[in-house]
Amino acid sequence: MAVDVTNAINAYANANRIASGGNAATLGTTPARDFGSILQQAAAGVVGALQKSEQTSLQAVTGKADLAAVTEAVTNAEMALQTVVAVRDRVIAAYNDILKMPI
């Protein structure tokens, strides 16, 4: 499962509607999920993108995949990995900011 940008766009749009006075029930959105399941789904998407990239690369070595498919799969995997690294860096920065707060 690849990381889907449209899900992020829809989430931002729904959050904007909720902040402007609407609520999730009237907007026809799905019920809220817990943070752990969202992270688990995102991690599964990244792992899926990396696995697809590996499979496509192996198919290219054996001559069963074209170069465009390999390039697309590797680019998707690279973007997913960069996203994970960026989120990790933000989480570490937030944790460090919390540690610096006076008690």
The DSSP line for 76-87 is HHHHHHHHHHHH
27-32: Cβ within 8 A, 24+ apart:
none
Residue 83 phi/psi, 5-degree rounding, is -65, -45
What's the number of domains the chain is made of?
A: 1
pLDDT at site 21: 57
Q: What is the pLDDT of the chain when averaged over all its residues?
A: 79
Domain interval for residue 58? 5-100
Alpha helix ranges (H) inside the chain = 5-19, 35-61, 67-100
pLDDT tens, position by position, 38-86: 888 888 888 888 898 999 999 988 888 888 888 888 898 899 889 989 9
Q: What's the DSSP call for residue 3?
A: -
